[in-house]
Amino acid sequence: MKTHLKRIWHRLTADKRQFGLFCSLCFVALLLWARIIVIERPPKTAVANPVTESVVEEYQSSDQRKVYVSLDSEVLRNPFLVHQAAFPMTGAMTNNIAPQSSDNGQEAYTHSLEGFELEAVMGEIAMINGRVCRVGDVLAGASSYAPLTITSIGGRSVIISAGKNRYELTITP
pLDDT value for 158? 92
What is the DSSP secondary structure assignment for residue 91, as one 8-state letter? Answer: S
How many Cβ atoms are within 10 Å of 143's Cβ, its own excluded? 7
- List the chain pLDDT tens, one digit each, 173 residues: 789 988 888 887 888 888 899 899 999 999 998 888 777 776 666 666 766 555 555 555 555 778 888 777 777 777 777 777 777 777 655 555 555 555 555 666 666 777 888 888 988 899 988 889 999 998 876 555 678 899 999 888 999 988 788 888 888 76
169 neighbors 129 (Cβ within 8 angstroms): no
Pairing of strands 149-154, 165-170: unpaired
125-128: strand order across its sheet: 118-122, 125-128, 131-134
CA 83 vs. chain centroid, Å, equals: 25
pLDDT value for 59? 53
Pairing of strands 131-134, 149-154: unpaired
pTM for this prediction:
0.39
pLDDT value for 26? 93
